[in-house]
Structure formats: C-alpha cells, structure tokens
Structure 1
Amino acid sequence: MPTLRPDLKSILKFLRSFLGIIRILQIVFGAGLWVTIAASKYDGSIHFVLFVAVLFWLLTLALFFLTLLDKQDLVPLLGGERWLCTNLTHDAVAAVLYLPAIGVMIFKTGRISYCNLEQYTEPCQYKVYLTAAVFACLCCLAYLLSVIYGACRKCLGETTVI
C-alpha cells in the first residue's frame, strides 16, 4: 500500500496543475462540441468540424492519461525528453485547426439565422450550430492557453509538462 502514495501524489499534482486543468477543459469542451454536432442533423462542411473535434478529443484524452499516469516514457519517439515538445505541437496544431472549424460554425450559423424568428415553424438548427460555435471557440481558447503555457516552459528550458 505505501507504494501507491507517491503515484497518488503525482496524480493529484498533475490534476491541480495548470496543464491538468486545461486538459480537463479541453476534454469537456471538445466532448461538448462533438456531441452537440453528432446529436443533430448536420451536413457539408460540418463534417470537418466533427473530424477536428473528435480527433483532438481522442488525442487530448490520450495525452491526458499518459501524463496523468506518468507513462509518457513508454511512447516511442515522442515521449521522455520530447514530451513537452509533443504536447506543444499537439496543442498548436489543434489551435490552428480549430480556427477554420470556428469559421465554419459561424458561417453555418449565420446562414440559418433567419429561422431563429418566432414566426418560423419548421425545424431549425440555429441553436445547435450556435452552441457548437461557442464550444469550438472555448476549445480553441483552451488550446491556445496550453500553447502559451507550453511555450513559456520550453523557453525557460524545461523538459517536463508540469
């Protein structure tokens, strides 16, 4: 039983760290985005938004659990001393790909804004698209914060994420 204490302490340390909190937010906002889209009727360019949301949700989940369990050394080529760079690259690519996803959601929301009127009686995706646009913005913000945090750690010469 005493061997579990250091592991529990490192888990709690990560969960209370800035990156741990940001990762949890990325996972929650990403899940909110793709569940919102997947639970509705979508078409066309929304597939790109769904692809970005699900891809980075899964990758962020993997990074989160590898860091949480302190198993990043087991990842070939990307783990160990390169883990900070791996996280930084992941977050930067996610932030860059979320920007066009935000644009798609805003464009689609604007195109159907007419159906937000009370007199409109047909089924309308306006609120779904608006909710997805907000989740996409929150995801992008969380990834940008993570990029800034990782870049600051890298500039200070750190090699670990926490």
Structure 2
Amino acid sequence: MPPQASQSQVKSNILRFLRSFLGIVRILQIVLGAGLWVTIAANKYEGSIHFVLFVAVLFWLLTLTLFFLTLLDRQDLVPLLGGERWLCTNLAHDVAAAALYLPAIGVMIYKTERNSYCNLDLYKHPCLYKVYLTAAVFACLGCLAYLLAVVYGACRKCRGEQTVI
C-alpha cells in the first residue's frame, strides 16, 4: 500500500473519531477532569479532598489513554482489553469513573457547605468556598459526561456492535 493511501486512511479515522459522539464526550471528560484536578491542586486542600483529587487525576489519565488509543486506532496493542473487547473496556472504564465520581461529588458538596459561612461580604479571611464550589461543578459535569458515555456504550453493546464508533 502506498504511504499516501495509508496516511489518508489514518487521517480519515482520526477525523471520524473526533466527530463521533464518543470522541466529543471524551474531549469533554478530559477538559472537565483537568479543570477539577487543577482547581483542587492549585489551592490548599486537606482530608477527604485527597480522594477527589485521586479520582480526578486517575480518570483523567485513563481517559486520556483511551482517547489516544482510539484516536490512533491502536486499541489492538492493549493486551487482554483491546481488539474485540475494546467496547467493553471503554464501558467498564466509564462505569467505574461514574461510580467513583459520585462520592467525589458528595465530598465536594460537603466541603462547599462547610465553608458556606465565608461567602459573606464582610468575611475577610482566606476561604476555599469558591474553590470547592467550582470543583463541585466540575465534578458534577464530569460525572454527567461519564454517564453519557455509559449510556452510549451500553446502547452500542446491546445492539451487538463491537466498536466504540
């Protein structure tokens, strides 16, 4: 096969994935996950916020990996999880992410409520209320993006399809 035909096929696959529903959702997951962990990591945090940061960074890295493997059509390189199992692998990833994002949302809402007293105009001390509120919004939107991917992957799996796009 001439190199030009191969390059045009790769470019076509990349564009097809980026325009697909899952490609768009993966980009949203990456952006929202990065927003969550950067918001938390850029400020002072303690206690249960470590769990939120762990979930955000772990699934940001895993989603980034799934995104690039699918984008470059290299899922066959993943032993045991790639090839024909790639749709199930993506579905399991999205279910796990959504399941762990839910308690992370709970932690962020709890921390936001605990710091709501410093939302007053007259309060002059440093306060993390706005940081926690922003992180809670990122966590909720990120969880929603993973739930959308779960529904999409489950529908494809129920129809008997083997590919993610």
Give the TM-score normalised by structure 2: 0.97
Identity %: 79
| 1:83 aligns to 2:86 (yes or no) | yes
| 1:59 aligns to 2:62 (yes or no) | yes
Match of 2:53 among 44, 50, 53: 50
> How many residues align structurally?
162
Q: What is the CA–CA distance in structure 2 between the aligned matches of 1:72 and 1:3, rounded to whole Å?
A: 18
Q: Which residue of 2 aligns with 1:151?
A: 154
* CA-CA distance at 1:2 after TM superposition: 3.3
Q: What is the CA–CA distance in structure 1 between the aligned matches of 2:99 and 2:140, rounded to whole Å?
A: 12
Q: Which residue of 2 aligns with 1:119?
A: 122
The amino acid of 1:38's aligned partner reads A
Aligned to 1:3, the other structure's residue is in SS state helix
CA distances 1:58-79 after superposition (whole Å, capped 9, x unpaired): 0000000000000000100000
Q: What is the CA–CA distance in structure 2 between the aligned matches of 1:69 and 1:119, rounded to whole Å?
A: 54
Q: What is the CA–CA distance in structure 2 between the aligned matches of 1:106 and 1:91, rounded to whole Å?
A: 22
Aligned to 1:158, the other structure's residue is in SS state coil
Alignment of structure 1 residues 7-156 onto 2, 5 Å: 7-156=10-159
Q: What is the CA–CA distance in structure 2 between the aligned matches of 1:153 and 1:3, rounded to whole Å?
A: 28
Q: Which residue of 2 aligns with 1:5?
A: 8
CA distances 1:28-86 after superposition (whole Å, capped 9, x unpaired): 00000000000000000000000000000000000000000000001000000000000
Give the TM-score normalised by structure 1: 0.99
The root-mean-square deviation of aligned C-alpha atoms, in Å, is 0.5
Q: Which runs of 5+ in 2 are unaligned?
A: none
Q: What is the CA–CA distance in structure 2 between the aligned matches of 1:147 and 1:12, rounded to whole Å?
A: 22
Q: Which runs of 4+ in 1 moved over 2 A?
A: none
